[in-house]
């Protein structure tokens, strides 16, 4: 009886927690609202800045702010065209460069952005920064943070369901342990990792469009990832075991996408690219 109630609860929660991605029109699983996510993100962002070396007053720091502002404007223009003028309400955009050799950049829900100095040599110039910036902002715009948290909660709820189901079915401890391990591996390889990879692919597309609308050359997307591949030294895990698509998959996808991004930008009067 407990197992049936848990199963019904899981189905009900899933059905009533779907939201529409305004950029793709796809339904997404998301229990989290901006009013829940943004305060947490802003607090974590401030804590991060307080414990890391923020670079200010340099040409590179100014480039991060300038590029971020252009990507933000591109996002607003796109959203206006989609009839979503108020979509960015509550965003508190902030762009910071942090002195850290890690090859990384990220955008938290609500528009809080960090670039590490370690990624700048791979970006090479402002257009490379825009490609990365567009991708990271796309994660926030598409609510990927809330979706990941929701998927994690659902995965945990499923694990409880497996455990309760085993108890109801009278499984011995050894069999129950095997069942739990199988669920954990199956939900990770068949659910969480593909879910994460789909987010990366979606952010690649939305981000490249944002960069193009902001006036940056989308052809640079594939070139950036060629440099990322070279920097990785070929040490990436197989795609099926990774949270990200393989470098080769991304390069091919971005090459295919670049003409579409240029066509999208032309809708906003952008006909030449930096």
Tell whether 79 is covered by a domain.
Answer: yes
Phi, psi angles (nearest 5°) of residue 223? -65, -40
Fill in the DSSP letter of residue 238: P
Q: What is the pLDDT of residues 67-123, one digit of tens each?
A: 999 999 999 999 999 999 999 999 999 999 999 999 999 999 999 999 999 999 999
7's enclosing H/E stretch is helix 2-15
- pLDDT for residue 243: 54
3-class SS at 274?
coil
How many domains, in total, are found in the chain?
1
**CA-CA distance, 37 to 109, in Å (whole number)?**
7
- pLDDT for residue 233: 79
Query: Higher pLDDT residue, 60 or 181?
Result: 60
**CA-CA distance, 241 to 179, in Å (whole number)?**
21
Tell whether 158 is covered by a domain.
Answer: yes
DSSP 142-206: TTHHHHHHHHHHHHHHHHHHHHHHHHHTT--HHHHHHHHHHHHHHHIIIIIHHHHHHHHHHHHHH
Domain that holds residue 120: 2-23+53-266
Tokens read off for 55: 């670079």
Q: How many CA atoms lie within 13 A of 74 on its CB side?
A: 32
Tell whether 46 is covered by a domain.
Answer: no
**CA-CA distance, 57 to 206, in Å (whole number)?**
30
Tell whether 44 is covered by a domain.
Answer: no
Tell whether 142 is covered by a domain.
Answer: yes
Q: What is the pLDDT of residues 174-209, one digit of tens each?
A: 544 533 443 333 333 333 334 366 888 999 999 999
Tell whether 274 is covered by a domain.
Answer: no
Least confident of 43-47, 115-119, 139-143, 153-157: 153-157
Nearest to 150 by CA among 35, 10, 42: 10
Q: Which residues are catalytic?
A: 136
Contacts within 8 Å (CB) and 24+ apart, 158-165: 158/10, 158/183, 158/187, 159/183, 159/184, 159/187, 160/6, 161/3, 161/6, 161/7, 161/10, 164/2, 164/3, 164/6, 165/3
Q: What is the pLDDT of residues 4-32, one digit of tens each?
A: 444 444 444 444 456 788 888 887 776 67
Tell whether 61 is covered by a domain.
Answer: yes
Tell whether 43 is covered by a domain.
Answer: no
Query: Higher pLDDT residue, 166 or 206?
Result: 206
């Amino acid at each position: 009886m407990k197992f049936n109630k848990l199963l019904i609860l899981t189905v009900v929660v899933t059905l009533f927690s779907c939201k529409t991605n305004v950029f793709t029109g796809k339904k997404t699983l998301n229990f989290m609202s901006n009013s829940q996510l943004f305060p947490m993100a802003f607090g974590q962002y401030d804590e991060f800045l307080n414990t890391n070396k923020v670079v200010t007053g340099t040409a590179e720091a100014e480039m991060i702010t300038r590029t971020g502002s252009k990507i933000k404007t591109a996002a607003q223009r796109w959203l206006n065209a989609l009839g979503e003028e108020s979509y960015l309400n509550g965003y508190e955009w902030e762009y910071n460069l942090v002195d850290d050799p890690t090859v990384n950049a990220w955008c938290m829900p609500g528009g809080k952005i960090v670039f590490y100095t370690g990624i700048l040599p791979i970006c090479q110039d402002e257009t490379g920064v825009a490609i990365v910036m567009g991708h990271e902002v796309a994660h926030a715009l598409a609510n990927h943070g809330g979706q990941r948290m929701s998927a994690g909660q659902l995965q945990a709820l499923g694990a409880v369901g497996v455990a309760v189901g085993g108890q109801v079915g009278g499984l011995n401890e050894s069999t129950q342990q095997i069942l739990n391990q199988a669920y954990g591996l199956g939900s990770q390889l068949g659910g969480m990792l593909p879910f994460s990879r789909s987010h990366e692919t979606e952010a690649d597309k939305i981000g490249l469009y944002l960069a193009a609308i902001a006036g940056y050359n989308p052809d640079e997307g594939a070139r950036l990832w060629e440099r990322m591949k070279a920097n990785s030294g070929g040490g990436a895990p197989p795609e099926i075991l990774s949270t990200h698509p393989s470098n080769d998959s991304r390069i091919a996808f971005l090459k295919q996408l670049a003409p579409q991004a240029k066509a999208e930008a032309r809708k906003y009067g952008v006909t030449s690219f930096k």
